[in-house]
Each structure stands twice: as structure tokens, then as C-alpha cells.
């Protein structure tokens, strides 16, 4: 068993949408940070002050410190997301340095994306052992729209579920195999094409 196949990082649809918008707006690269729950759900993607070029996004330590100082839950900021613009998704030497620079007492989720909406995700554990798991599946999680009550009401209003008709096991008489009769045989219903026969459960 490969460990990356047993791991999955989920990202809220809203966070993913912000990342795609910023990816489209950036000429080249950009970085953002997000919170991660202990169950590895990424949410709350936020920008911080940065200067980027077409080919690099450097984490300004002073800007990062300012961002974390002002953050409500700095301890939950455990995801670093950056875009490669028009290039492919991979971990560059500079990315490895960024991840090492973001080392903390627990873990970091890193996601690299590009303008073609490709994404690669990895998990770095810093303690109690140093471990990197690359190629982790990233699953976009749709928001809960709380539609259960409304769907139940509409289902009860519009849908009738008929009981299954008894299977008679009778063969179609050789005379006139009409399409209706053939369908009836297929379903195991009486070999009849009499429309009225369906009336009792409509
Ligand atoms: Zn990179």
C-alpha cells in the first residue's frame, strides 16, 4: 500500500475558487496561505503582501510574520498554496526551500496550481518525524447547502413510488409480439398491451 493512496486532502470549494481567481489574475506566480483542520480540510484561503515575478514567488518573512500576527488562528494556518502561472505543476528547488522555511511543530499542506487548473498536493510532517508524502489526492468539497428539508418536501409533493408488479413468469403468446408486450415480458409483467391494466397503481 502506498501511503499517498490512503491520504486525502479536502479543500472547501470557496477556498479553491479564490485560488483559481487569483491564479487567473496573476501574470505569473503568487502565493497564499490557508487554514487546515486536523482532518486535513483546507479552508479560508488568504493573501498576504508579496512581490512576485513571472517565475517566482518569494515568501517575505516580514510580511509573513505580519500576516500571522494579525491572524485570529495563526496555529491553524497550515497550508501554503502557490501558482506556477502558465508552467506545469511540480516542486522546484525554491519551493522546497519555502516549505523548509515554513516548518512548524506539526505539519504543512502544500498545493501548487497553474492557469490550466492543474493542481499537485503534498503533505510535510515535521514532528515527531520528518516525512514528505507527495501526490496526495486533493478533493474539492462542495459547501453544505442545507437542502434536505426542501428536497424532502418536493419529493413528497411530486414523486409516487409504485409497488413492484408481481412477476408472473408467463411467456408471451406467439401471436402479435407488440413492443408493449415485449416490454412486459422484459419486466416480467403480464403479457398484455392493455393500457388500462396500469391504471390501478398510477
Ligand atoms: Zn513553485
Q: List Cα–Cα distances, 194 to 32, 90, 172, 184, 198, in angstroms.
A: 67, 66, 14, 11, 8
Spatial CA neighbour of 114 closest among 82, 138, 139, 137: 82
Dist. CA 5 → ligand 1 center (Å)? 23
The Cα 144–Cα 127 span in angstroms is 33
Return the pLDDT at 58: 72
Spatial CA neighbour of 87 closest among 47, 137, 27, 15: 27
Dist. CA 26 → ligand 1 center (Å)? 14
Q: Environment class of residue 173 by beta-carbon count within 10 Å: exposed (0-12), middle (13-18) or buried (19+)?
A: exposed
Look at residue 171 and tell me if it is in a domain: no
155: Cβ contacts below 8 Å, ≥ 6 apart: none
Dist. CA 63 → ligand 1 center (Å)? 19
Residue of 197 and 115 predicted with greater confidence: 115
Identify the CATH number of the domain in which residue 98 sits.
3.40.140.10
pLDDT tens digits for range 78-129: 999 999 999 999 999 999 999 999 999 999 999 999 999 999 999 999 999 9
Look at residue 53 and tell me if it is in a domain: yes
Confidence of residue 10 (pLDDT cuts 50, 70, 90): very high
pLDDT tens digits for range 166-176: 655 555 555 66
Dist. CA 166 → ligand 1 center (Å)? 64
Dist. CA 71 → ligand 1 center (Å)? 24
Dist. CA 82 → ligand 1 center (Å)? 7
Number of domains making up the chain: 1
Look at residue 44 and tell me if it is in a domain: yes
Return the pLDDT at 6: 81
Average pLDDT of the chain to the nearest whole number: 86
Which domain covers residue 57, as residue numbers? 3-141
pLDDT of 60 higher than 70: yes
Confidence of residue 196 (pLDDT cuts 50, 70, 90): very low
Share of the chain above pLDDT 90, in %: 64
Dist. CA 28 → ligand 1 center (Å)? 11
Dist. CA 7 → ligand 1 center (Å)? 22
Look at residue 102 and tell me if it is in a domain: yes
Name the pairing type of β-strands 119-125 and 131-133.
antiparallel
pLDDT of 21 higher than 50: yes
Look at residue 55 and tell me if it is in a domain: yes
Look at residue 25 and tell me if it is in a domain: yes
Look at residue 150 and tell me if it is in a domain: no
pLDDT of 47 higher than 50: yes
Q: How far is CA 109 from the centre of its chain?
A: 15
Dist. CA 85 → ligand 1 center (Å)? 10
Name the pairing type of β-strands 41-46 and 8-12.
parallel
Mean pLDDT throughout 34-55?
A: 91
Look at residue 112 and tell me if it is in a domain: yes
Amino acid at each position: 500500500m502506498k501511503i499517498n493512496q490512503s491520504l486525502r486532502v479536502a479543500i472547501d470549494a470557496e477556498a479553491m475558487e479564490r485560488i483559481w481567481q487569483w491564479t487567473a489574475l496573476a501574470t505569473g506566480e503568487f502565493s497564499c496561505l490557508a487554514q487546515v483542520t486536523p482532518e486535513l480540510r483546507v479552508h479560508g484561503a488568504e493573501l498576504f503582501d508579496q512581490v512576485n515575478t513571472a517565475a517566482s514567488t518569494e515568501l517575505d518573512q516580514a510580511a509573513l510574520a505580519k500576516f500571522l500576527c494579525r491572524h485570529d488562528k495563526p496555529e491553524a494556518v497550515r497550508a501554503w498554496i502557490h501558482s506556477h502561472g502558465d508552467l506545469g505543476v511540480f516542486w522546484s528547488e525554491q519551493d522546497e526551500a519555502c516549505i523548509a522555511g515554513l516548518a512548524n511543530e506539526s505539519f504543512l499542506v502544500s498545493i501548487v496550481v497553474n492557469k490550466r487548473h492543474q493542481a499537485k498536493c503534498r503533505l510535510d510532517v515535521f514532528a515527531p518525524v520528518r516525512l514528505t508524502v507527495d501526490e496526495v489526492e486533493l478533493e474539492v468539497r462542495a459547501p453544505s447547502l442545507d437542502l434536505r428539508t426542501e428536497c424532502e418536501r418536493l419529493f413528497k409533493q411530486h414523486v409516487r413510488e409504485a409497488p413492484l408488479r408481481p412477476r408472473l413468469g408467463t411467456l408471451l403468446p406467439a401471436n402479435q409480439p407488440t413492443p408493449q408486450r415485449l416490454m412486459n415480458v422484459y419486466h416480467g409483467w403480464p403479457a398484455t398491451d392493455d393500457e388500462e391494466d396500469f391504471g390501478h397503481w398510477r
